[in-house]
Amino acid sequence: MSTLAYAADAAAALLLLAGALFALVGSWGLVKLGTFLKRLHGPTKSTTLGVGCVLVASMTHFALRGTPSAHELLITLCLFLTAPVSAHLMVKAALHLDPKIRPGPPPGGPAGD
């Protein structure tokens, strides 16, 4: 096995570990955080990044084995495009249904002061 193959395997392993860690943190945030708006950050931020890392690791592994596939790339692009849009729409719907959940202004007044 060449040095490039060892480096690619190491990079894929690191991406898998990082992806698993991000997915774990996102899942933990989904379970432990209290309100809907706080819980939304778990799956849309860290879990999306975790699944993205796993997909990039898969692309790296199979591309260097001589069988590249565009499936993982298309899934990654679809994931990174749809997750923020769906989160935005869920927040808009929640604010429309219950305007009282809107957070107040930050302490200290406007940023321009």
29 within a domain of the structure (yes/no): yes
Q: Is residue 111 part of a domain?
A: no
Q: Is residue 109 part of a domain?
A: no
Number of structural domains (the chain) is 1
Mean pLDDT of the chain: 86
Q: For residue 109, what pLDDT is reported?
A: 67
**pTM of structure:** 0.74
Write the CB contacts of 72 (distance below 8 Å, at least 6 apart in sequence).
Answer: 55, 56, 58, 59, 62
CA dihedral 23, 29, 30, 35 (to 10 degrees): -160
pLDDT of 69 reads: 80
In a domain, 13, yes or no: yes
Residue 71: which domain range?
Answer: 3-98
Residue at 113 is within a domain: no
pLDDT bucket at 53, cuts 50 / 70 / 90: very high
Structural domain contains residue 26: yes
22 near 47, Cβ under 8 Å? yes
The span from the CA of 12 to the CA of 14, in Å, is 5
pLDDT of residue 93: 94
